[in-house]
Amino acid sequence: MSLNTEKEIIVYQPNSRQKTGFLKSLFLMAKNIKNSRELIWQLFVRDFLAAYKKSFLGIGWIILAPIFGIVSWVFMNYAGVLKPGDVGIPYPAYILLGTSFWGLFMGFYTSAAETLNTGQGFIMQVKYPHEALLAKQILQQLANFLASFIVIMLVLLSFKVIPSWQILILPILILPMLFLGAGIGLLVSVIGVVANEIRRIMDIALGTLIFFTPIIYSSDSTGGMIAKIIKINPLTYIIGGVRDAITYGKIENLSYFIWSGIGSFIFFLFAWRLFYVSEEKVIEKMI
Amino acid sequence: MQKENVKNELDSDVVIKVEGLHKKFCRNLRRSMFYGCLDVTRDMFGISRDRGKLRRDEFFALENVSFEVKKGEAFGIIGQNGSGKTTLLRIINGIFPPDRGKISVRGRIGALIAVGAGFHPHMTGRENIYLNGTILGMTKKEINDKFREIIDFADIGEFIDAPVSTYSSGMTVRLGFAIAIHSNSEILLADEVLAVGDLNFALKCYRKIAEYRGKGGAIILISHNMHMIRHLCQKVVWIQNGKMINTGDVLEMCNKYEEVSLNKDYEENNISDNAKILNFDDSFKISSVDFLDSKDSKTNKFISGEPLKIRINFQSKRSINNPIFSISLLDSEGNIIFESYSKIGEIGSLLSEGTVEFLTEKLSIRPNIYDCSISLAEGELLNKIEWHERAYKVVFDNKNNLEINQGIIFPYPQWILKNKIK
């Protein structure tokens, strides 16, 4: 244990995070995530296995949940109550794919919103970069999605729906979803410590958005005000576009998809910056 | 936080430097949350504000604290409950940001306060060593290198491969401590707890800490155990109500601290709150009791190792033959420090008015606040006439610097070594 004068000195001062430049803070956090790979992996294994070890159905639930999720929509469609319009493929397949991507977006949001809560227990005693918690949450969400996606593909194939080649670039296609969902989640994670209702309000608000996104129905089947909202809703492109890419092999309104993607990325950077500046101040309110 | 490799910012032998530290909190929960919202909103728009100013309902939990810890030093933080010691530790650990002032830290900090942090009950002890070690900042290589040592130190046998949920609380704490104490840090932070578990394990902890100190590690210790602070630390900072009273040599600071703490409960008329005064005979009365020091002045503050005189003033309508006075000294837990009876015939009969004095030349007891009980019996011990149960408070301090340590009395020891010459 040698102590030499060259050892790094850490200085704590008021507002030091705020004084750090925008880009510098983003690079710092990225570097912290890189340096805490081991911690992220350990926490991921801990929490992912938690669901797995607890019950037999544990991981099975992750796989089967999307299928249970579409039951009510499929039933309403079958009963003639729900008219989704012509979606080009069997409706159950259409909605299964759509809702699984919607679930992924909501999952990114929820897991990011839990970022600070997931460290509870040792966030007060040990110093470590909290952006590692965000990385762990995202990783967990992706792992859950991967598990269920394999099953979903099998179901699709059973409906004789062959996914297009774009499935190979799926990791890139879901990036806008990740940025927008995680961005909103990060904001909620920080603000939610000092204003508890924000989380609930955002959960409800985002949950309602599924009715203004062509997930349950196709975009052609609506008119009037709803059609207008669908057109300006970025989720239409970010989520609906990915579903269309897998199903039909092309994204309608590709330019909107790209712009929404860029917008989501910039939004995420700002949300991440806010996390960096504010989180140390809200953490003391978590006592 | 910013990282700087500036050699002249910190003297080469200093590992922690706290300069003018202020930390504020809000005492009203709703307002605290409101301020939090305000701060976050300001952050969103990049508006900064001087965090050193107090808003309504805000108060400084720490105010203008400054001290230095040198490499290899054991540094104590003393002060009453609620004085801000734990907050100070959290700021040094980098968990709370300061509101004014500056803290510079050179080296990795390990926290003995994070025992068992992040333990997952369904994972085995082995798996949790990696998890907890990583949370505490160890790299995988460091954990691998110390793995065997940690398992041996924790001493939980085959349970190391069982889920932590099956452990007793003692085992969990031993494993957590074993990991924390091997975490390769240059500065160790401890809040009251330097050792855990049963006696055997606690001794292991102390030995490990001594080993750590021997290798040049610094420790910052919060403790109410003055014995521990005196023996382990070289320097101490005294925090009271968030303010730094002083920082300096351990003996000097601890003595001053004890003196003030004892003074706080000092009662001018030295009548105790829990006094029970019973009288079984109307014709007799103890009118007052005086406590006198070596100069015969009335006081209730005494110095350990010096004389104590108790003067009982009485009035009686009849003469009392064969009086037996008793005086006992008790600590706050009711343990009897000493009990003394006047022997029959030793003092003679009591007439209408007078005093009885009790004198001990040298009472070398632990600095503390004691209760004094006084009673008078007639003829035999159980035939009580008057009884003042724990009615008087006496305070002993240690101006003579007697090394009483964990005990109650000072034995005026002599140690003699005789080696066998071959």
Domain ranges in chain A are 23-286
Residue B1 reports pLDDT greater than 60:
no
Question: Do residue A14 and residue B100 have CB atoms under 8 angstroms apart?
Answer: yes
- Chain A, window 168-197: residues with a beta carbon less than 8 angstroms from a chain B beta carbon: 190-191, 193-195
What value does the mean pLDDT take over residues B223-231?
A: 84
- pLDDT tens digit sequence for B66-112: 999 998 899 999 998 888 999 999 999 999 999 999 999 998 888 88
Cα B294 versus chain centre, distance: 30
Question: Do residue B37 and residue A195 have CB atoms under 8 angstroms apart?
Answer: yes
Is the reported ipTM for this assembly greater than 0.90? no
Confidence of residue B7 (pLDDT cuts 50, 70, 90): very low
Residue B372 reports pLDDT greater than 60:
yes
Interior/surface letters B351-375, b for 16+ CB within 10 angstroms, e for the rest = eeeeebebeeeebbbbbbbbbbbbb
Three-state SS for B291?
strand
Residue A64 reports pLDDT greater than 80:
no
Residue B256 reports pLDDT greater than 70:
yes
Angle at B411 between CA B410 and CA B412, to 5 degrees: 100
Q: Encode B199-242 in three state secondary structure.
A: HHHHHHHHHHHHHHHHCCCEEEEECCCHHHHHHHCCEEEEEECC
What value does the mean pLDDT take over residues B233-261?
A: 89
In this predicted structure, what is the pLDDT of residue A218? Answer: 79
Distance CA B409, CA A77 (A): 88
In this predicted structure, what is the pLDDT of residue A84? Answer: 75
In this predicted structure, what is the pLDDT of residue B269? Answer: 55
Question: Do residue A17 and residue B97 have CB atoms under 8 angstroms apart?
Answer: yes
What value does the mean pLDDT take over residues B398-406?
A: 76
Q: How many CB atoms lie within 10 A of CB B168?
A: 10
What value does the mean pLDDT take over residues B250-276?
A: 73
% of residues, chain A, pLDDT over 70 = 94
Q: What is the pTM of this model?
A: 0.78
Question: Do residue B215 and residue A1 have CB atoms under 8 angstroms apart?
Answer: yes
Question: Do residue A126 and residue B130 have CB atoms under 8 angstroms apart?
Answer: no
Q: How many CB atoms lie within 10 A of CB A127?
A: 19
Residue of B274, B263, B278 whose CA lies nearest to B331:
B274
- Chain A, window 50-109: residues with a beta carbon less than 8 angstroms from a chain B beta carbon: 50, 53-54
Three-state SS for A36?
coil
In this predicted structure, what is the pLDDT of residue B376? Answer: 94
Residue B239 reports pLDDT greater than 80:
yes
In this predicted structure, what is the pLDDT of residue B264? Answer: 60
- A254-283 helix and A241-248 helix, angle to the nearest 10 degrees: 140
A262: contact with B, CB 8 A cutoff: no
- pLDDT tens digit sequence for A233-273: 889 889 988 988 888 888 888 899 999 999 999 999 999 99
A125: contact with B, CB 8 A cutoff: yes
- Residues of A whose CB is below 8 A from B87: none
Confidence of residue A138 (pLDDT cuts 50, 70, 90): very high
Residue A96 reports pLDDT greater than 70:
yes
Residue A48 reports pLDDT greater than 70:
yes
In this predicted structure, what is the pLDDT of residue B3? Answer: 45
Amino acid at B114: A
Residue A104 reports pLDDT greater than 90:
yes
What's the mean per-residue pLDDT of chain B? 87
Residue B5 reports pLDDT greater than 90:
no
In this predicted structure, what is the pLDDT of residue B6? Answer: 43
Residue of B217, B155, B153, B210 whose CA lies nearest to B185:
B217
Q: Cα distance from B94 to chain A (closest Cα, Å)?
A: 6
Domains (range + CATH), chain B:
276-397 (2.70.50.60)
- pLDDT tens digit sequence for A149-199: 888 888 888 888 888 888 888 999 999 999 999 999 999 999 998 888 999
- Which residue out of A5, A7, A8, A12 would a mutagenesis test of the B interface target, given it has the greatest number of B Cβ atoms within 10 Å? A12
- Residues of B whose CB is below 8 A from A45: 131
